[in-house]
Amino acid sequence: MKLAAVKGITPVSTESVVDTERELVKLIIEARGPESAHDPGIALAARDAAELAHDNGAGLVAVVEHPSADPGVLIGMVVTADAPFGPDAADELRRYLEDAGGPDIREVTEARTERGYPVVIAERVLVDGPLRTGPPTGCQLQAVVLDPHSHTMAVFTLHSSTGRGWLELATLLGQLVSTVDF
């Protein structure tokens, strides 16, 4: 898979969990300011993201930042399906996510990349509490780009722990996803 560089999306090393975690922490603190170095949640979130990325064979781990937003963490990977995709694969995936995605999913949409690949986008707002009535604990956007001529899909997950500037971060992810080429 090929991707274009997008201003505001800074990839980090995927050589090891330790390297990924260290670089994520550094970039997030740079984006949020030096006073954030005392926030233990940054190191914890970076460690969780690094472990998740390495456990799932991610090819991309990045910090997504915009002046009007708290930074987000992006994980991208290429996944191979067991069977080739049919012409309705994007529609089937969209319907599946709408039906089985749970209460956190706020919106599921379909789009196309610059090269015409179908994309399914699911937005989640994560909420605390058993009744899901607590304050939001973050936002997540997942974009799945399907290659209809193979068994391959690219899966991108953007997470923001605060949701501040969420639309700006989502726009940057959209710019990156639009450049996917298998």
Residue with tokens 């670089």: 23
Write down the pLDDT at residue 131: 55
Domains of the chain in sequence order: 9-177 (3.40.1000)
- Side-by-side strand order, sheet with 9-11: 9-11, 60-64, 72-80, 152-160, 136-146, 118-127, 105-112
Specify the length of the chain in residues.
182
Using alpha carbons only, give the angle 127, 132, 133 rounded to the nearest 5 degrees: 95
pLDDT digits (tens, 9 = 90+) for 122-172: 998 876 655 556 555 689 999 999 998 889 999 999 999 888 999 999 999
What's the confidence (pLDDT) of residue 42? 95
pTM of the full predicted structure?
Answer: 0.91
pLDDT confidence of residue 1: 92
- Specify whether the CB–CB gap between 55 and 77 falls below 8 A: no
Q: What is the mean pLDDT of each run of 10 residues along the chain (182 residues)?
A: 97 98 98 94 95 97 96 97 87 90 85 96 78 68 93 96 93 98 94
